Amino acid sequence: MNFLSSLIQGYFLFPIIMVLNILFAITVIFLERKKPSSTWAWLLVLFFLPFVGFFLYLLLGRQLRKKHLFRWDGRKDIGIEQLINYQIEAIENNELELRTENIKNYSHLIYMNLKTNNAVLTQDNDVKIFDDGSDKFEALISDINHAKNHIHIQYYIFKLDNLGQRIINALIKKAKQGVKVRVLFDEMGSRGIRKRHFKELIEAGGEVEVFFPSILPLINPRLNFRNHRKIAVIDGRIGYIGGFNVGDEYLSLSDRFGYWRDTHLRIEGSAVHPLQTRFILDWNQASAKNDIIYAERYFPIIPQKGTAALQIISSGPDTEWEVIKNNYLHLIANAKKYVYIQSPYFIPDESFFDAIRIATLTGIDVRIMIPNKPDHMFVYWATYSYVGPLVEAGAKVYHYEKGFIHAKMIVVDDEIASVGTANIDVRSFSLNFEVNALIYDRLLAHRLAEIFERDIMDCSELTLELYKNRSNYTKFRESMSRLLSPIL
């Protein structure tokens, strides 16, 4: 009797659940006007996981309200709005001083970034490239030890292992000396880390904030929107940007990943000011009561350190334009000789995939480097499903065999390069908060190309023969992963 009663209840309950599921799909997904690929992916989730899929959507699929997420009145005080307006007008009138012919070749890209991202062009920077974690963190800790005024640290992942503790100890020492120390980390990236774990730093006078913290344990309706940026600013004069997070694996101390290949930049010059602005905007969004107000010490006058031209560009679900993706598309579309790409994830949207395939078919030397040691299996096979057709079109695809490649770099024609935090995937294009340095400098672009070509020595090539002879099981994993790629 109990079984029959349960069967009857289920018979009537199932149609109700399905009707509710359809209403959820109509009112939540279609009204949010997502891209068709993402809409269909979520419809599949709702269809195969009725009701449960809706709660997954609430956690992972909702769009972020963009209004007033990042605000800081100090932008007016540092004159950035005036400088942006001046550079826009000067480019429109062909009056902006672009110091090299190479920079002049990309005036349209500079203009786009000014108009859509408030990305000031600076032409006085000295840039050091790090492709090894030990070198990068030794330099960062040395700069921390020599700080005199303030230290701003922001990482997606901040682990309190040996490396993390070294950095914290250095920060505690500086805080006790009166240097203002601020640390910002992303809760999703730094799982298990809480503000209370920085107790000694806070007691020494440092401040710590968490980006998009959970409302309750294990409940975070904004966990799908991750601050993937990695920024450090020392005294407003030295800036760091790139792919390295804080953790022992980034020093190649992980048995799982082995050698960790990443790319990071150390910048001295006026480009540090846009990095500082980006940090302050992120900090004030996360801060409940410790907002940073404008002070001249955060934006000191910096003597000319070099000649490299940079724009610091950022994007996220709060912005109207997919700025970093648009930059990638412009670089690919205007390549004349080659495009080199390094990314741990290669799950492009349709526009990026078409751009890179067209470049290949028109004779551009397209080379893509991806890991051979996946850190997320679905992502790995989705990546494989996209690079395979590019191999068929004539691109060269390399699997990095020495360890794990985490670099996010594009270099084009020995003329221009992009290094930062954004991967080649829909998440970095639309969901994550990212930041990249766009480098208009031949010497630096050439150096990054040399690093790429050196890395090829530690790679195996995915040839057309290997791709065509892959197993049916591999094809199945590719197909399933690609189907879910818009929501990975």
**What's the rounded mean pLDDT across residues 356-372?**
97
Residue written as token pair 């492709």: 131
Q: Which residues pair with 358 in a beta bridge?
A: none
Binned at pLDDT 50, 70 and 90, residue 288 comes out as: confident
pLDDT of residue 463: 95
pLDDT of residue 387: 94
pLDDT of residue 167: 98
What pTM was estimated for this model as a whole? 0.87
End-to-end Cα distance, the chain: 45
pLDDT of residue 233: 98
The rounded distance, in Å, linking the Cα atoms of 185 and 3 is 52
Residues of the chain with pLDDT > 70: what percent?
80
Helices within 25-156 (DSSP H only): 36-48, 52-60, 74-77, 80-92, 101-104, 107-117, 133-145
Answer yes or no: is pLDDT of 49 > 90.
no
pLDDT of residue 81: 82
Beta strands in 237-276 (DSSP E): 238-242, 259-268
Binned at pLDDT 50, 70 and 90, residue 7 comes out as: very low
Binned at pLDDT 50, 70 and 90, residue 213 comes out as: confident
pLDDT of residue 379: 78
Residues of the chain with pLDDT > 90: what percent?
68
**What's the length of the chain?**
488
pLDDT of residue 18: 62
The rounded distance, in Å, linking the Cα atoms of 251 and 134 is 5
Q: Which of 156, 164, 165 is nearest to 184 (CA)?
A: 156
Which of 63-77, 235-249, 465-479 is modeled with the greatest confidence? 235-249
**What's the rounded mean pLDDT across residues 270-279?**
96
Answer yes or no: is pLDDT of 382 > 90.
no
Question: How far, in Å, are 135, 161, 256, 259 from residue 252 at the CA level?
Answer: 12, 13, 10, 4
pLDDT of residue 470: 87
**What's the rounded mean pLDDT across residues 244-272?**
96
Q: Which sequence positions are flagged as catalytic?
A: 228, 230, 235, 406, 408, 413
pLDDT of residue 32: 57
The pLDDT tens digits of the residues spanning 312-343 come to 999 998 888 999 999 999 999 999 999 999 99
